[in-house]
Amino acid sequence: MAVCQNCLCEERGVCVNRFVGVVVSIGLAAGFAVAERTAPAVFHVDSEAGNDNAAGTRPDTAWRTLDKVNTATLIPGDRVLFKRGGLWRGQLTPQSGAPDARILYGAYGDGAKPILQGSVARDQADEWNEVRPGLWATRKLEPRLLGQSADLRGATWGKHNEGGAAVRIERVQEDGITFTRVTCETPGKARNHIQLWGPAVTRPAPCMILRLRVRSTLPFTLETVRAMRNRAPYTTVLASDKRIEVGTSWQTVEVLMLLREAINEVPRLHINLGDTLPAGAVFDFETLGLWEASIEHCKPIPLDVGIVILNHGEKWGVKKWALEEVKAPLDYWYDPDGKRIFLAWPANPAEAFHSVELALTRHIINQGNKHDITYDGLAIRYGASHGFGGGNTQRITIRNCDLSWIGGGLQYWKTRKDGTRYPVRFGNAIEFWSGARDHLVERNRIWEVYDAALTNQGNGDDSHQINIIYRDNVIWNSEYSFEFWNRPASVVTSNIVFEFNTCVDAGICWSHAQRPNPNGAHLMFYHNPSKTSDFIVRNNIFCRSSDRCTRMWNVWDGAPTLSNNLYWSPDKPIMRWTEKTDYAQSEFVRYQSELRLDQGSLVGEPQFVNPAARDYRLKPGSPGSTLATDGGPVGARIQ
């Protein structure tokens, strides 16, 4: 087996951990050893009456928390059922099944769909204080030191290089002091091109403080220090937002790390240097120790807040990027250092609104590198990244789920040609990123999404996207109903089918006016150089949008097939073609003739059964009621 020189991480299955034994969980599930269990089981989860120490195999012995679900050892064919009417806050990290025995995450009991919610509540008056008249803040992060958890002096660190980057790592002694030295021979172009892996964090706590000494012959900014799993998926357990300005003289710094996710393995300290350590720099550092701290008294908000949702959507906040920009009522700013938000409102927000939810920037369901999973009958809401997110997935079905109020968290800052910067924000309700194949998304209801309700997209040499079907979904009030692009030109996109979906009011949503690029469209096809074939959009309803129905950025290598769709866009273009030509609804026949798209499609105002109640089935005799390729109605038939 090939082993990376000095590497302490498992990378793509070829690196071996040489210095710290990884804890392999063989745990217990349902009261018996996992190694002895070969038959699939059903596990129940009850947010009110459950107990994580129970077996979980009956409703009266249900588990209680997402942490238990995430860390339980499941086998192919298992079913995890959440009690209807329950609510769980946090992130679900699913486990993979097998092609002939999927793992199911579903529901049991009576009542409303079980809710997986990605927000924290701040609906108690004592959780807010008035900074000045009309400006309110949640509690500031002020950790209280409890005691040392680990002495890390003399800890061994290793390196991992990729993307042409190269560093040399060694232990050095100077003036009687021993430390780790990293010499940058070739810098990286991306953050992960130079990685340092360090000692295990054997007892992760909700808040930990890492003390270390640092210096560098060339100044740079150290941006990412965390504790994470050292093999795929590389789950972050403890994370810090602190930016450390490393100078030429020794300095001792404290890095505050908050718990992101519990896993059933021991994480390790990890530092990314790929795009920050300059060529020729000699970076010296020594980890001194880890301390545990208490934060229960201040209830910090650990991640960027992408949406402030008031009274479950009656009102919402407008995100700003500096405190001085918070001026108008409902403007807010997330303070990454104090882990709090500032919100403009005349009175205490918890007294003015009965519900105050702060959507956090993480996927509600993080399914990266997973396969053979079915989700059925869940409600996914109030998350500032993606509802379902993660790359390199296979054989996933998402069925009968409700997804709402998704996106808005900071993803990264982008620089324009004139040098100015603007924020790129998450996210999508259901996203298949990069490599994705054999997925089915059907009979879901999706609304109030910052970007796309549905999307498969990617960028990388492994970004092949094959056999993905979206059907019978109802979408309203999302910036895009369906977004697609795939890069580079060497990858394949094949057999993507978008059919029998009802898409209403694209771009008419909470996020539209807050975007740096208001850009509503039902079909948003950004630049796509991939080798594309059998890309089919048929039997759908596209009704009203803020900007246009379809935006086609470039001519693909393999044109899409659009047919038998019903359009209604009386005051906005049906199509913006390659950023050059807009086709108005009144020019629909010319659009069909010149582009050879949407043969069999027509323009007409759909007559819905009860749009006020979001019943978007077509009435008998409505335009589109016999338009589908099978002679029946277009749009979602099962609602």
Based on its alpha-carbon atoms, the radius of gyration of the chain, rounded to whole angstroms, reads 26
What are the respective helix, strand and coil percentages of the chain, to the nearest 5? 5, 50, 45
- How far is residue 379's CA from residue 106's CA, in Å, rounded to a whole number? 10
The distance of Cα 577 from the centroid of its chain, to the nearest Å, equals 30
So what's the pLDDT on residue 21?
32
**Which residue blocks in 237-363 are alpha helix, DSSP H?**
349-352
- How far is residue 449's CA from residue 257's CA, in Å, rounded to a whole number? 30
So what's the pLDDT on residue 20?
32
List all residues 6 or more positions away from 388 whose beta carbon is below 8 Å from its beta carbon: 363, 364, 365, 367, 375, 380, 398, 403, 429, 430, 431
So what's the pLDDT on residue 33?
42
In a 3-state reduction of DSSP, which class is residue 370?
Answer: coil
Contact by Cβ (8 Å): 502, 475: yes
The DSSP secondary-structure symbol of 249 reads: S
- How far is residue 495's CA from residue 478's CA, in Å, rounded to a whole number? 25
So what's the pLDDT on residue 233?
77
Question: Token digits for 145?
Answer: 């030191």
The DSSP secondary-structure symbol of 98 reads: B
In a 3-state reduction of DSSP, which class is residue 228?
Answer: strand
Grouped pLDDT means (10 residues each) for the chain, 639 residues: 36 33 36 66 98 97 96 96 98 97 98 98 97 97 94 95 95 94 94 95 94 96 92 88 93 93 90 94 97 94 96 98 97 96 98 98 96 98 98 97 98 87 93 97 98 97 97 98 97 98 98 94 97 98 98 91 97 96 97 96 98 97 98 94
In 26-143, which ranges are E strands?
28-29, 32-33, 42-45, 79-83, 87-89, 103-108, 115-117, 119-121, 128-132, 135-138
Q: Centre a 10 Å sphere on the Cβ of residue 175 and count the other Cβ atoms it contains.
A: 4
Can you spell out the DSSP letters for 129-184? EEEETTEEEEPPP--EEEEEEEE-TT---EEEE-TT-EEEEEEEEETTEEEEEEEE
Question: Token digits for 639?
Answer: 């609602």
Q: Parse the chain into domains and list their residue ranges.
A: 38-114, 120-141+300-358, 145-294, 362-618
What is the residue whose two structure tokens read 């869940």?
A: 378
- How far is residue 80's CA from residue 500's CA, in Å, rounded to a whole number? 30
Question: Token digits for 195?
Answer: 């990685």
Contact by Cβ (8 Å): 159, 196: yes
Residue 79: CA count within 13 A, CB half-sphere:
13
Angle of CA points 639, 499, 94, to nearest 5°: 70
Angle of CA points 569, 571, 573, to nearest 5°: 65
So what's the pLDDT on residue 437?
98
- How far is residue 304's CA from residue 62's CA, in Å, rounded to a whole number? 33
- How far is residue 69's CA from residue 62's CA, in Å, rounded to a whole number? 11
Q: What is the enclosing helix (H) or strand (E) of 212?
A: strand 207-216
Question: Token digits for 389?
Answer: 């997110």
Q: Right CATH number for 145-294 from 3.40.50.150, 3.90.650.10, 2.60.120.260, 2.60.120.10?
A: 2.60.120.260
So what's the pLDDT on residue 370?
96
Give residue-wise pLDDT tens across range 149-180. Answer: 999 999 999 999 999 999 999 999 999 999 99
Q: Centre a 10 Å sphere on the Cβ of residue 596 and count the other Cβ atoms it contains.
A: 11
Look up residue 181 and give its amino acid: R
- How far is residue 191's CA from residue 183's CA, in Å, rounded to a whole number? 16
- How far is residue 392's CA from residue 90's CA, in Å, rounded to a whole number? 22
Asked if the domains at 38-114 and 145-294 fall in one CATH topology, the answer is no
- How far is residue 235's CA from residue 266's CA, in Å, rounded to a whole number? 11
362-618 is a CATH 2.30.38 domain:
no
The full length of the chain comes to: 639
So what's the pLDDT on residue 499?
98
So what's the pLDDT on residue 385?
98
- How far is residue 53's CA from residue 266's CA, in Å, rounded to a whole number? 21
- Pairing mode, strands 32-33 and 28-29: antiparallel
Model pTM? 0.88
- How far is residue 581's CA from residue 47's CA, in Å, rounded to a whole number? 53
Range 38-114: architecture per CATH = 2-Layer Sandwich (3.30)
Q: Which of 293, 278, 272 is nearest to 248 (CA)?
A: 278
Q: Centre a 10 Å sphere on the Cβ of residue 200 and count the other Cβ atoms it contains.
A: 20
